[in-house]
Structure 1
């Protein structure tokens, strides 16, 4: 994403807030490892990776002034990409990440969009797809930000087997009752039939979740996602006359390279973990809102 925006003429600043990301595949303007390192925390406090990450995020929250000072020279003319850790417990069992985001919004007047990345191969297994939906819904409720859910690596989805339905079923999150039959065919899921039905009802009742798709190798796919993000965080109104904006075409129009040549703000966090192990955290996030 950073390369894409840079090629289009935007000044991009990547902010790495993942202390476990010690082999960065990109050049970042701000790196949390300049403040605290996960390896040092694990060694000093005898913590595992997950406990160490929680400690690091807590430390960042307590030292938020450090991050604010680093960001101030960038916010006027840079498009900011925040890369957060993917561990679900940081977002549901602890409030540190949300507190960091809220403090930045309040003190620096940032306009942020949460972009939640889910691996597309989870659509190949109905149980994992339902879990991904729950995770996405919980994230939307917990952060209370403009939010875009993305099925990433969509170009690789066929490598994991055939989908039970067409892709639009999974992106639009249509009637989930159709998944019941496929779940019952899996002996591992059959005994959770009633639970699965209740979970699907919760997702349907909220009616908030849908997905965009992303093939990072396809410039049209990346461009359409950027347009959608720009719509959600208000960028489309920052440098373009509002009368020229047609909401119904914002994500489907042909790629207009001139459109992307202005800075704005974006926050990205990616969840890469075994989703079905996260149901406790998901229920904790939903409990107060349902």
Structure 2
């Protein structure tokens, strides 16, 4: 019997915990069962108390103090410690039935799932063996990134890197859509849902450069000056190379998410359900009423 889960990823500030809370609320509103796991060893405040909290096993503050590590190194240590003590996760999950959706909230350090094999090992543990959790990833990218093409493509590249590393079904989401409503035209917003390199052609933030500057850069300016490092010809060529790589792979598409809108949360949940094939595994449910009695009430004994 399979179990079903979604692992919520994304950079810091993308709204992962808020999305988890809205997802749980939507599940409860639709009378669906949910099992909430917090794997952020620095998280403190929750709308819904996690069923499993990694801080009951290890906390980032303790690791930083006792091991004299910084936040990133401490976080990696926490997950290495978790992998050495996987029974902390696996034993409670053994009792979970297929009617539950397991929601796993992750920290915002993207190196955990872009180029360090810690999270792929964790996913492999959950998806394999007796647990057999059908996993999908929900990668959140803040919608305000669209105001800066370079930032948007860097975030999109991170999403694609996570897709390649985890090798599980993936749902990419532009979160905090309420922050860009009224500031971006709908037809312009659609261009970001299927990222293409052509987005750089109409970047209002990019300085205009003549063809010679595009090929050689501006020899008169210091290439190490901050304005040239973040806005010079070399920087633009790097952005175009990244954007073209994303365009060539054509793997990343985004859904829109406004956590204040229940329909928006429900739409994202439907994609998650499809990715893990949740509904296909559910047994048909018997009616909770007596059909014969209802017919008698409606039509009488005759």
Question: TM-score higher than 0.5 here?
Answer: yes
Look up the match of 1:238.
Answer: 281
Equivalent position to 1:214, from 243, 257, 269: 257
Deviates most, 5-14 or 150-159: 150-159
Provide closer, same or farther for how the CA distance between residues 184 and 234 of structure 1 changes in structure 2, counting only shifts above 3 A. Answer: same
Q: Following the alignment from structure 1 to structure 2, what is the Cα–Cα distance between the partners of residues 129 and 240?
A: 42
Look up the match of 1:22.
Answer: 44
Q: Report SS of the residue matched to 2:139.
A: strand
Q: Shift of residue 94 of structure 1?
A: 2.1
Does the CA-based 8 Å contact 1:127-1:189 persist in structure 2? no
Q: Does 1:125 align with 2:172?
A: no
User: Over residues 213-243 of structure 1, what are the superposed CA-to-partner deviations in whole Å (9 max), with x where a residue is unaligned?
Assistant: 11111111111111111111111312378xx
After superposing on structure 2, the runs of 4+ consecutive aligned residues of structure 1 that deviate more than 4 Å are 161-165
Q: Report SS of the residue matched to 1:113.
A: strand
Does the CA-based 8 Å contact 1:15-1:83 persist in structure 2? yes
Q: Shift of residue 24 of structure 1?
A: 2.6
Q: Following the alignment from structure 2 to structure 1, what is the Cα–Cα distance between the partners of residues 185 and 152?
A: 11
Q: Following the alignment from structure 2 to structure 1, what is the Cα–Cα distance between the partners of residues 74 and 126?
A: 23
Provide closer, same or farther for how the CA distance between residues 35 and 75 of structure 1 changes in structure 2, counting only shifts above 3 A. Answer: farther
Between Structure 1 and Structure 2, the one with more helix by share is 1
- Give the unaligned 5+ runs of structure 2: 1-22, 209-226, 285-302
Q: Shift of residue 179 of structure 1?
A: 1.4
User: Over residues 111-145 of structure 1, what are the superposed CA-to-partner deviations in whole Å (9 max), with x where a residue is unaligned?
Assistant: 01100011100011111111111111111111101
Q: Shift of residue 102 of structure 1?
A: 0.7
Q: Report SS of the residue matched to 2:120.
A: helix
Q: Following the alignment from structure 1 to structure 2, what is the Cα–Cα distance between the partners of residues 240 and 178?
A: 46
Q: Shift of residue 146 of structure 1?
A: 0.3
Q: Following the alignment from structure 1 to structure 2, what is the Cα–Cα distance between the partners of residues 93 and 120?
A: 24
User: Over residues 60-97 of structure 1, what are the superposed CA-to-partner deviations in whole Å (9 max), with x where a residue is unaligned?
Assistant: 01111221012112244421101111101212342122
Equivalent position to 1:180, from 169, 194, 201: 201
Q: Following the alignment from structure 2 to structure 1, what is the Cα–Cα distance between the partners of residues 100 and 186?
A: 43
Q: Report SS of the residue matched to 1:148.
A: strand
Q: Shift of residue 33 of structure 1?
A: 0.9
Q: What's the C-alpha RMSD, in Å, of the aligned pairs?
A: 2.0
Provide closer, same or farther for how the CA distance between residues 181 and 215 of structure 1 changes in structure 2, counting only shifts above 3 A. Answer: closer
User: Over residues 172-230 of structure 1, what are the superposed CA-to-partner deviations in whole Å (9 max), with x where a residue is unaligned?
Assistant: 22x32241342532863333122112111111110101100111111111111111111
Deviates most, 145-154 or 91-100: 91-100
Equivalent position to 1:62, from 84, 92, 102: 84
Q: Following the alignment from structure 2 to structure 1, what is the Cα–Cα distance between the partners of residues 177 and 283?
A: 31
If asked which structure has higher relative contact order (CA below 8 Å, sep 6+), I would say: 1
Look up the match of 2:241.
Answer: 198
Q: Report SS of the residue matched to 2:141.
A: strand
Higher Cα Rg, which structure: 2
- Give the unaligned 5+ runs of structure 1: 242-290
Q: Following the alignment from structure 2 to structure 1, what is the Cα–Cα distance between the partners of residues 45 and 63?
A: 17
Look up the match of 2:135.
Answer: 112
Q: Following the alignment from structure 1 to structure 2, what is the Cα–Cα distance between the partners of residues 140 and 239?
A: 27
Say how many residue pairs are matched. Answer: 239
Look up the match of 2:178.
Answer: 155
